Structure 1
Amino acid sequence: MKLSSRRQALTFLGASALVTAFPARSQDAARYPERPIRLVIPTSPGGTMDAMARLIAEHLSASWKQPVLVDNRPGGNGAIAYSMVSKGQADGYTVLLSISSLVQTALLSKTPTYSIQEFTPLAVVAMLPNAFAVGKHVPANTVQQFIEWAKSQKRGVDYGTSGPGSSGNIMGGTLAQASGIDLVHIAFKGEAPAIQAVMGGQIAAVFGSTGSLVTQARAGNLKVLAVALPNRLKDYPDVPTFSEAGFPAVNLPGWSMAAVPAATPKPIVDRLSAEITRIVQLPEVSARINSFGFQPEGGTPEAARRFLHEELTRWGAAIKAANITPE
């Protein structure tokens, strides 16, 4: 009898704990946010991604009357930022603003330090198209002219990117496969030194963010030949897409997605998603995002989850086609 009574008591206590835990969690969600939020991004301060993060943080802070702090965690093609957030508290106070390396790094790492399943997507914030540019010393003003020139180079043609396994690396490999040219990948520690190298004539070409490359092109420092998007960018209508240039397989736009650790309560997920989408779609914010060379988006957690699944498939196929192996 004593054993039976003890089991009944433990069962009751366990059930009571669960009952009291759920209302507490609901109350936390109802009060959210009641302290500062950290917005983690996988890039260095000063770039266009950093500028977009700070723009969103400023509006979130104004709306919710809580500080929103941008935390730059570059390195490892995003792995440092992604690992930190994936292992963080699932309470809505650590939010990731990723780029497409979230998928690429997971696919290309032999020993990944995070998994996609450790995140709950909030919304696709923006499309971040990469552009392809060449130095002024390269005798080409179109992608086709570049291909013809590259075929005449006996030692191959160097192209720079922000690092191994980056969008630019995958796009470069895809362009080489599709066109039959010999492209030699030069991995830099970030986009800025890659752009400096092509402007200085150390390398022939570079894949990088559209905003950064077009800014340099307008200053006469390099030539932008194509952008990776289904349609031309609103603010850069003179730059053709890779599809228009005859290489649809290279049309692999990047993106930025907001996400939180997987166990974050749904009310907090929904509130974050709705507020980030509202901010991104404000006319003044949308205009700023366009000026960075990005395309503002927004949407629901469900739509973001479907998009992420599709991107895993798309980038997985591109990596295979480009013969890029895990490191």
Structure 2
Amino acid sequence: MNKTLLRGIAAISTCLPLLAGASDWPARPVRMVVPYAAGGGADNTARIVGQRLSALLGQPVLIDNKPGAGGVIGADNVAKAPADGYTVLYDASAFGVNGALRKLPYDPAKDFIPVSLVATAPQILVVGAGAPYQNLAELIAAAKKAPRKLTYASAGAGTGSHLAAEMFNDQARIETVHVPYKGGAPALTDVMGGQVDLYFGNAASTLPSLTGGKLRALAVTSRKRVQGLDAVPTLRESGMPDYEVLEWNGVFLPKNTPADIVAKLAKATREAVADPVVRERLLKAGLEPVGNTPEEFASFVKAESTRWQAVVKARNITLD
């Protein structure tokens, strides 16, 4: 038997376990890595969807929180995991931004397979209930009258609230000063107290304070108005036709995962998101359920990454 034939047999033998595993996947519990702290938005939605996925797949989907470095630590863990379908990444908007802000130990475009977009959520531009601005036009007029006098809070440098405000500055042609916090809760507290002028908050954390009368909503960042805030216009309606910012959650697998495993997980994720109970829980959390194909999600992630890279460069955004 010649060496070429031996090498061919060896290569086929190496692939057999992976091929066999693909046909009966999942045969054991699936680990879903959430690269953020327990109790946060991504973690909460991962548990909502993961519970239904467990039933659909016939195996436990175990949530594994690996926070740190804006999601990089957990994503890197998945990028280096075996491509056998038993390690899944449940990431958020930062996945599409981190490459523009940090030197990454992985390539977001090459080391992952997008599986399905789970949900999106708008942000809400809010000011304190005692602020003098009754609408967006008044806020922008005040900012133009006194450049760099108004301040905006964020949940931290490089977060969605930071980037949304910088895009707002750019498109409104104003300059407000960034005041970063260690999370959204303290940022909201200081906006309500009048220490900071404005904040782009996610719907889940901001809506309770709005209904409680502690904040005033001036605009939302989605293409359409938010259910329950029907009187609050979008930024597009308010003179910024190109403005749209959505926070999102989605499912990824490591590169080289067999195609039939990708297809099976994508189908199960879509079915989980379409489940009436899951949809209702996501909607109550301020999220818009999606559930799409790997191809659709890949296009979405690419567009998000391209857009935020341009914003980071144009606004000279850093993590310092």
Structure 1 length as normaliser, TM-score?
A: 0.90
Deviations 1:216-254 (A, max 9, x none): 111122122222111123354333211012223432222
- Tell me how far 1:177 sits from its aligned partner: 2.4
SS of 1:129's equivalent in the other structure is strand
* Pair 1:241–1:197, CA change in 2 (3 A): same
Q: Which residue matches 1:131?
A: 124
SS of 1:277's equivalent in the other structure is helix
Provide the rounded CA distance (Å) in 2 between the counterparts of 1:77 and 1:30. 35
1:82 equivalent in alignment to 2:43: no
Q: CA RMSD in A?
A: 2.0
1:215 equivalent in alignment to 2:215: no
Structure 2 residues without counterparts, runs of 5 or longer: none
Match of 1:141 among 134, 147, 150: 134
Provide the rounded CA distance (Å) in 2 between the counterparts of 1:209 and 1:142. 19
1:115 equivalent in alignment to 2:69: no
Provide the rounded CA distance (Å) in 2 between the counterparts of 1:118 and 1:235. 39
Q: Which residue matches 1:271?
A: 264
- Tell me how far 1:200 sits from its aligned partner: 3.0
Matched pairs, number? 319
Provide the rounded CA distance (Å) in 2 between the counterparts of 1:236 and 1:73. 34
Match of 2:153 among 150, 156, 160: 160
Deviations 1:18-58 (A, max 9, x none): 22333322210122112222222233222333221111111
Deviations 1:229-284 (A, max 9, x none): 11123354333211012223432222222101112111111111110011101222
Whether the 8 Å contact between 2:222 and 2:234 is mirrored in structure 1 is: yes
1:297 equivalent in alignment to 2:295: no
- Tell me how far 1:190 sits from its aligned partner: 2.1
Provide the rounded CA distance (Å) in 1 between the counterparts of 2:115 and 2:192. 38
Structure 1 residues without counterparts, runs of 5 or longer: none
Q: Which residue matches 1:287?
A: 280
Match of 2:179 among 183, 186, 198: 186
Q: Which residue matches 1:18?
A: 11
In the TM superposition, structure 1's runs of 4+ consecutive aligned residues that sit over 4 Å from their partners are: 152-155
Provide the rounded CA distance (Å) in 1 between the counterparts of 2:83 and 2:48. 24
Structure 2 length as normaliser, TM-score?
A: 0.92
- Tell me how far 1:152 sits from its aligned partner: 4.6
Provide the rounded CA distance (Å) in 1 between the counterparts of 2:186 and 2:77. 26
Structure 1 or 2, whichever has the larger Rg, is 1
Give the aligned residue type for 1:33.
P
Whether the 8 Å contact between 2:127 and 2:217 is mirrored in structure 1 is: yes
Q: Which residue matches 1:65?
A: 58
Match of 1:174 among 167, 172, 184: 167
- Tell me how far 1:154 sits from its aligned partner: 6.4
Whether the 8 Å contact between 1:123 and 1:257 is mirrored in structure 2 is: yes
Provide the rounded CA distance (Å) in 2 between the counterparts of 1:72 and 1:197. 29
Whether the 8 Å contact between 1:156 and 1:181 is mirrored in structure 2 is: no
- Tell me how far 1:153 sits from its aligned partner: 4.6
